[in-house]
Amino acid sequence: MAGDDLPELAHFLRTRRARLSPERAGLDPAGVRRLPGLRRSEVAALAGISPEYYTRLEQGRQRRPSRDVVDALAAALRLDQDEHRHLRRLAERPSRPAPSSGTPAVSETTRRLLRSVKPWPAYVVSPLRDVLAWNDAAAWLLTDFSELPAGRCNLAWFAFCDPRAQDLYVDWEGVAAGNAHRLRDALAADPYSERGAELVAALTAESPAFAERWERHDVRGPNTGRKELTHPEAGPLTLDYANYLQPGADHLELVVMTAPEGSASYRALIRRFSVGAALAPEARSA
């Protein structure tokens, strides 16, 4: 059965098993191994379940392992916190789609905040990486999201399908992979999302790089970090970013990018968006 045809739970277990070496799992690597990673029987033994039961999980014939089994598999496969949460979501996936809430709305309070944090680039993003609102600094730094085609105002689409992204991000590989990881996380939480299915299908068709990363089934949740950019106007910039979860069922995130006071990146943003500059227009939306 091909990876694309497997249920998500089965595919995830296969990819995690394939990447885990016997040495890392605390096992003797002796003997000939035709494929990388652990054998099914080894994972089953580490998790304290029968090889037959684990085989059914990987073949998609068993889709509802108990919470205890999920936790035992997470320990056996050396999953990190994000991967463990992902495995639980896949095991507890609802059998029926939840009613769609439509396009998420960004509150006026958040829009005021976007305007007020100048000179810092800031935007609001959905779990599926759709950019819903942004300030002028974000449009200047990344791209003018209002000029992107309908349905493509999306960070994953920008990273994988817009050639400007590879020139902008110094670590393009890391940024692109991170967006694929976040999409996996979002679709585990909302597996019946029509928007999510459309986006993944379009990215897979458009970008072989995305298709390859999607097949790996790596996953990550919200995080903080640092991005290095080569801006066409300002040159090299190094910015720290943090994600702030917004209240509500849509799980929107406010992302703000800053730089240490006195740094070259700080000075570049201050010069471009100084207090004396013309008043910025309203925070914009897709």
Instruction: Spell out the domain ranges in the chain.
Output: 3-91, 108-285
Output the CA torsion sign for 165, 171, 172, 176: negative
Q: Specify the fold of 3-91.
A: 434 Repressor (Amino-terminal Domain) (1.10.260)
Q: Which residues of the chain have pLDDT under 50?
A: 1-3, 276-281
Three-state secondary structure readout of 208-269: HHHHHHHHHCCCCCCCCEEEEEEECCCEEEEEEEEEEECCCCCCCEEEEEECCCCCHHHHHH
Structure tokens at 271: 């010069």
pTM of the model: 0.85
Cβ partners under 8 Å of residue 194, min gap 6: 100
Residue 71's nearest CA partner among 40, 41, 49, 39 is 49
What letter represents residue 158's amino acid?
F
For residue 278, what pLDDT is reported?
44
**In this structure, are residues 84 and 220 in contact, taking their beta carbons and an 8 Å threshold?**
no
Residue labelled with tokens 């994953």? 156
H or E segment at 124?
Answer: strand 122-125
For residue 279, what pLDDT is reported?
43
Q: Do 108-285 and 3-91 have the same topology in CATH?
A: no
Please state which CATH class domain 108-285 belongs to. Answer: alpha beta
